[in-house]
Amino acid sequence: MSGTRPDTRNTSSSSPAVNGAASAAVPLVPTNTVTTAAGLTVRTRIDAVLTVDDVVRQLCVNLKIKEPPSDFALRDETDELVTNDNLRRMIKTRANLKLVNAPSREAKETAEKLRLRGDPTTLKMTLFTLQKYIREDQFAQEFINLSGLADLIDVIYGAHGNTLAYALTAMQNLMELDYGWSTLDDDFIFQVVQILSSPQSLINVCRPATAILKKLVEADPTSAPGLQLTSSSRGPPSPPAGSVYRYGFHVVFEQMRKGHGFLETVISRLGSADTAMTQYSMMLINSLLAHASDTRWEEFISELERLNVRKAVVRLMSSHTIEDLTSCILDFQANFIRVTFRKKTTLVDVEAEPSHAAALNAIWASTKLSESVDETGQVLKWRLLGLDSENVEAEFNDVGLLGLECLKKFIDMDPDFSKIILEQLSRPPARRCPVAKASNEVVDLLSEHWAIFAPGYSTSTTFQPFFLDFYKVHSLATHFFIRMWSESGAASGDFTRVAALVRSQAKVALRSENVRPWHEVEHEFNECEYRSVRERQMKELELEDDLLSKIPVRNLRAKLYKESFEFVRQQRIQCLMQGAWFVNALPQNSTTSRDTSRRPIRPWRFMRLDPGLKYLHYVDSALKFAVRSGLEDLPERIEVAAISEIATGTCAAPPHVLRDQNDLPPTFPPVASPLSFSLLSAHEGSLADQIAPDQSRWADWTDGLNMLRRDGGHVSSKETAGFVQALTEIGLKIKLLDLSGEMVEIPSGLVAGPPPSNTDFFFSDLITNQV
């Protein structure tokens, strides 16, 4: 049957449903109920081959509505707009539909109400409606064309309480679109900063305000879709006219600096009792860390350190009991690995960086020593602290700014530092522990322990509170180094041997850091005796190859680690693009599914990532079927950018759904499956609750989705982390076989030769064969 045909036996809202003999004569064709604005309810059969415009036109004709059909649209009971993409689903599920104003007409009326303002109650209701509809393209385009955005901004400047919350949420939802908000200026950004900076701001106001700033941070020119950066690119690209990708970290940070106590207030909200507020704040901090510009990077990181953001996150690790924050915390860890790596590779430059010179001056002042000259008449200063030369910048080449900061923190934490130096200077030169050199060595071995090899790569699947206390661990390990030097009676030639002892002890003290208390770490470093440490290290050496501890080999491992991570990342994303079947699951708590109307009624879902990496397309089905390549069979979609968390172990299988014959029947009450995961949106709750068919598929999707996120990049499964480590070790062994087969001696370190005496030379062109 084509077209739409009202069931004339039930044409009013008060008529009872068809039943008895009459109902037996009605063919078993899906029938939808349509309710008009006047309250008239009709039952109609809709042909699935029609477009929505055709359905609306025929409804208007059959219901004798005189207004143009273009003024109307269909929505379901949850106010979801009926489109050509979801019409078939609405028909199959016999959705109860409403004939309402078309989005363009609704947008016109909304814009007029905003412009007139009217009484506060009307304004509040208008904004409440606006925040729901503004995500729809038809509504948003008409609203923007009618200058509705300017009126919305005016409301944000003057509103407060729930009215302001609704206005900010409407702006947040508009910014999920890739157009329409390129006219937001510095004054508006500063207004949002001021709203967030106020400790008196309501939670429901702060949540959308935080999300707006996060979106602005991520809307930098380098994030524009389809942008191809080349090695010859200089500086950020210029955004095309009208593009929303014209903001970024530097634009937002300039306004943040003007807002009194902005970062302090945001970090304080990490301790909020409202989990969603904590999540929003963590996501903003992560975005700022991931997008910090070179010019303001050091200033921003210094401010975060001053405000003890790491300590606040460590408290979250031990206090939160739900999965909503796990992904945010792992993102933060990955971002701080990036920060630590950047500090380690930032060279100390006394002349160009006043802060570096100030740190060195503070270090020297803490020694309470005076410069002198050695037997050759050369200045004797930094060698008194244990460095090998007076060229202090070169001495920090391998550990960079990180090493300088660690040495200064070590001194700040120990009021008796000057006594330590004086004690070493009282010994014969060959017996002195080189304290500053030991500090740098500890920085190196801790960087190796936490795999700080390259920016943006982290395979930790658990919390690392000790890593976030890097300076404190460094101080403990450096004191341990000095104590082992004394207890072992070491001389100048034993530096490498003592460093190996410290490396061995660090592995023991920092093991299982996600579950061990801090006092056990302190005990391991402060109380263990030299003899027991040495005996354990000798047993370890029997099982290890000394070759693997050499610096060139460690550097090679770091390079291979980065390559392996990127290879596994691409493999995971390819798995997402191939697609997979999942069970539609039941969430275990309300925090993962705030909108129960979104729960699918069919037990199976096939999901696939589109080639543009922007949407997860899916279809729900009563049975599995052969899904064709492409996206034709997948009418529904989830925007990847809307996914703020990938929570794991959050949902259970619905009753009467067995994934295979080995599955046990579901229990009551339902128990969360270890293969389950939820795609969470910060302001919409759960977008999807799924159970993977096996451990491998679960790892593919949870890690693949995490690696897609702009402010993320962490790994959540041990399987993926194991693949990265295995590829790294296999690659390393293959490389070493090439060297050991040729009997090439690998040095413990490389010494740079003297610089050329003049510039009268050139590099010849060498042709190399690469396998």
The tens digit of pLDDT for each residue in 588-633 reads 654 344 444 445 678 899 999 988 888 899 988 888 888 888 888 8
Cα distance between residue 714 and residue 325, in whole Å: 14
- Residue 347 within any structural domain of the chain: no
DSSP letters spanning 659-695: SSTTPPPPPSS----TTEEEEEETTTEEEEEEE-SSH
Based on the fold, state whether residues 489 and 631 are members of the same structural domain. no
Q: Which two tokens stand for residue 520?
A: 């056990």
Based on the fold, state whether residues 516 and 414 are members of the same structural domain. yes
Residue 688, helix vs strand vs coil: strand
Three-point CA angle 251, 257, 260, nearest 5°: 140
Which ranges constitute the DSSP H helices of 544-689? 551-578
Percent of the chain surpassing pLDDT 70: 83
Q: Tens digits of per-residue pLDDT, 53-94?
A: 999 999 998 888 889 999 999 998 888 899 888 888 888 888
User: Domain containing 681 — which CATH number?
Assistant: 2.30.29.30
Domain range holding 273? 184-222+245-307
Residue 234, helix vs strand vs coil: coil
Cα distance between residue 236 and residue 221, in whole Å: 6
- Residue 480 within any structural domain of the chain: yes
**10 Å Cβ neighbour count for 649?**
14
**Boundary residue ending a domain (101, 117, 140):** 101
DSSP state of 510: T
- Residue 128 within any structural domain of the chain: no
- Taking residues 209-219, report their average pLDDT: 93
Cα distance between residue 307 and residue 268, in whole Å: 9
Q: Residue 389: left (phi > 0), alpha (psi -120 to 50), or beta? A: beta
Q: Tens digits of per-residue pLDDT, 364-378?
A: 999 998 888 888 888
Q: Which two tokens stand for residue 354?
A: 């006043």
| Predicted local distance difference test score (pLDDT) of residue 10 | 39
| Predicted local distance difference test score (pLDDT) of residue 65 | 87
β-bridge partners, 645: 680
Give the CA count within 13 Å in the CB-facing half-sphere of 637: 17
- What is the residue type of 347? L
Confidence of residue 542 (pLDDT cuts 50, 70, 90): low
Cα distance between residue 530 and residue 504, in whole Å: 12
Based on the fold, state whether residues 712 and 575 are members of the same structural domain. yes
Q: Please tell me the total number of residues recorded for the chain in this structure.
A: 771
**Boundary residue ending a domain (101, 135, 153):** 101
- Residue 713 within any structural domain of the chain: yes
Mean pLDDT of the chain: 82
- Residue 334 within any structural domain of the chain: no
Q: Tens digits of per-residue pLDDT, 693-751?
A: 888 888 888 888 887 776 556 776 777 778 888 888 888 778 777 654 444 555 555 55
Based on the fold, state whether residues 297 and 398 are members of the same structural domain. no
β-bridge partners, 97: 34
**Boundary residue ending a domain (720, 735, 760):** 720
Based on the fold, state whether residues 97 and 192 are members of the same structural domain. no
- Residue 732 within any structural domain of the chain: no
| Predicted local distance difference test score (pLDDT) of residue 37 | 81
Most confident of 20-34, 429-443, 454-468: 429-443
Strands 96-101 and 372-373: unpaired
Based on the fold, state whether residues 576 and 711 are members of the same structural domain. yes
* Better pLDDT: 549 or 690: 690
Judge whether residue 407 has pLDDT over 70. Answer: yes
DSSP state of 529: -
Cα distance between residue 470 and residue 399, in whole Å: 14
Based on the fold, state whether residues 625 and 540 are members of the same structural domain. no
Based on the fold, state whether residues 280 and 406 are members of the same structural domain. no
User: Domain containing 9 — which CATH number?
Assistant: 3.10.20.90
- Residue 149 within any structural domain of the chain: no
Q: Which two tokens stand for residue 346?
A: 């930032």
Cα distance between residue 630 and residue 609, in whole Å: 10
Cα distance between residue 533 and residue 138, in whole Å: 70
Confidence of residue 42 (pLDDT cuts 50, 70, 90): confident
- Residue 660 within any structural domain of the chain: yes
Based on the fold, state whether residues 571 and 530 are members of the same structural domain. no
Based on the fold, state whether residues 577 and 524 are members of the same structural domain. no
DSSP state of 81: B
* 33, 97 contact by CB (below 8 A): yes
Based on the fold, state whether residues 625 and 708 are members of the same structural domain. yes
- Taking residues 539-568, report their average pLDDT: 71
Cα distance between residue 125 and residue 151, in whole Å: 15
* 157, 191 contact by CB (below 8 A): yes
Residue 180, helix vs strand vs coil: coil
**Which residue's entry shows tokens 């409606």?**
129
pTM above threshold 0.85: no
Into how many domains does the chain fold? 4
Based on the fold, state whether residues 80 and 47 are members of the same structural domain. yes
